[in-house]
A and B are shown apart, each in its own frame.
Chain A
Amino acid sequence: MGRLLPHFFTAIKNNAIGLLVFFVIWLLVALFFPPYILPSPVTVFQDVLSYLNQDIGHHLAVTLFRVLAGFGLALSLGTVLGILAFVTNLTAWVNSFMVSLQVIPGMILGIILLLAMGIGDGVPIALVAILTLPTIAINTANALAKKKVALEQYLISAGGGKKHLVRYLYLPALVPTYQSNLSIGLGLSVKVVLLGEFIGSQDGIGYLLNVARIYFNMKEVIFYLAIVLLFTALFEATQSLLFAVCLERYFFPE
């Protein structure tokens, strides 16, 4: 635990500095635009209470649920698909397929899903699952393809079977990939859920963003974006802490 915890605190510090820099840039850039285009953070925070009154807790919870459900689905399916691709020696084929899936525009897919599923939770969740899954599957298959042959040989020579290879070699090889999947995948998921709510939902932060931008209420738009930013930073810190405390051993120096 001692080796990665300093890295965790450094990451928290860097995140905080990043957020601070973001707000400073925002403050400076806002000086050059009128408030109806880019309001300054000060004016946004002055109106925070009025935004909080409009059942923001419910919308935030709905968005969180969709992000976690869609991302959880993509993480599970993507991992299984990546493992299957590796086990069946179809990594190259699955990679090509996933890359082709990755280039489908989210907006088009969102409209297709909206027509197929109607307004509700389904569209943002399915959108996240479909658009995040390729990244996770490709990362998983590639991480397994880089397995250590010498360790595999040792396990076989020691009488290990497939379950031992999975337990002692393949799953540990996936831990660092899982962390990058969580970081990259969650950022992507948040964006996609907002897009899904934008297109086909009547609640969630994406929906609120859509309503606010229809009325050109840029203070409210920026407020919701700041909430999303804070949520993402909080998640990043939580997963860093989890990996630093529980899974440190899998991040070994070569």
Chain B
Amino acid sequence: MIMSDDFLTVRKLTKRFAVQTVIEDLSFSIPKGSRVTIFAPSGSGKTTLINILSRLDYNFEGTFSLAAENPATIFQQPRLFPYMTVEENIFLPIRIRETQITRDLLDKFERWLEVCDLSTNLHCYPYQLSGGMKQKVALIRGFLTEPDFVMMDEPFNSIDFRSKRAIINHILNAYPKITVLFVTHTLDEIPLLTQSVLLFKANQLAEFSTLDASHLNLNFMEAIYG
């Protein structure tokens, strides 16, 4: 399924660690503006795929092309800098890219703080935050740069369902045209955020099929993964 408006195209991607093949001959594409979930069991190479697509790992076979001008990755671990406050962590990518801090950007920042209920924690250091709060900071940091493509690797692991729903609603409202590649092994998150799902069988990201996220149910997943 390679279309002309594909945003991300992965062709025959294979990744091996020593004798273990983690990803084998993987091909898929994601159209611009779509929000897609990769649903697979733990240890099946989802994070490896995200690392490759984030250009952190060049040691693979196959190719991929990414049309994004301003991609962002939100990793499974929040990866906050322990010697920076919440505010400094959030504005780090802005400082790296030397983007001007406008009134509009500050408004978006304040809105994110409201959604994530972090307004009183701006001057805290990561060691003073809970796991869920750290993940929220990582989410704000990823989205505040106004990315056109976001890769999210299980970003809601430690976040309670109510907060998760508020954050996802905010993403859908504030970034309606964003392209999302969402990695998870938690079923309830999929229909909230994404329109379609790539299913990977067994322990390798080898075979996949797509389906409408609204058709997901536990019985279906059990039939696939056992």
* Residues of A near any B CB (own CB < 8 A): 150-151, 153-160, 164, 168, 172, 249-250, 252-254
Tell me the bound Cα distance from A154 to B96 in angstroms.
Answer: 12
Separation of A157 and B93 alpha carbons in the complex (Å): 10
User: Which residue of chain A has its CB nearest to the CB of B73?
Assistant: A157
A156 to B55, CA, bound (A): 8
Q: Which of B56, B77, B96 contacts A159 (CB 8 A)?
A: B96
18 A-B residue pairs with CB within 8 Å: A150-B77, A150-B79, A153-B75, A153-B79, A154-B79, A156-B55, A157-B54, A157-B55, A158-B92, A158-B93, A158-B96, A159-B93, A159-B96, A159-B97, A160-B96, A168-B92, A249-B125, A252-B126
B residues at A contact (CB < 8 Å): 51, 54-56, 72-73, 75, 77, 79, 81-84, 92-93, 96-97, 125-127, 145
Interface of A: prevailing SS: helix
B106 to chain A, nearest CB (A): 20
10 closest Cβ pairs, A-B complex: A154-B79, A252-B82, A158-B93, A249-B83, A157-B54, A157-B73, A253-B127, A160-B96, A250-B83, A153-B56
Contact A150–B125 (Cβ < 8 Å): no
B127: A residues at CB distance < 8 A = 252-254
Return chain A residues, CB-CB under 8 Å to B51: 153
Please indicate the chain A residues that have their CB under 8 angstroms from the CB of B54 in the complex: 153, 157
A-B contacts, CB under 8 A, total: 48
Smallest Cβ distance from B100 to chain A, in angstroms?
16
- Pairwise interchain contact B79-A151, C-beta atoms closer than 8 A: yes
Instruction: Report whether A164 and B83 are in contact in the complex, using a CB–CB cutoff of 8 Å.
Output: no
Assess whether B125 is in contact with A252, with CB atoms less than 8 Å apart. Answer: yes
Distance in angstroms from A173 CB to nearest chain B CB is 9
**In whole angstroms, what is the CA distance A157 to B83 when docked?**
19
Measured between C-beta atoms, what is the minimum distance from A189 to chain B in Å? 28
Interchain CA distance A223-B82 in the complex, whole Å: 46
- Taking a contact as CB atoms under 8 Å apart, the answer to whether B96 and A155 are in contact is yes
Which residues of the other chain, B, contact A151 by a CB distance below 8 angstroms? 79, 81
The CA-CA distance from A150 to B75 in the complex, in Å, is: 9
**Distance between B88 CB and nearest chain A CB, rounded to angstroms:** 9
B94, closest chain A residue (CB): A158
| Separation of A252 and B56 alpha carbons in the complex (Å) | 27
Are B96 and A164 interface neighbours, CB within 8 A?
yes
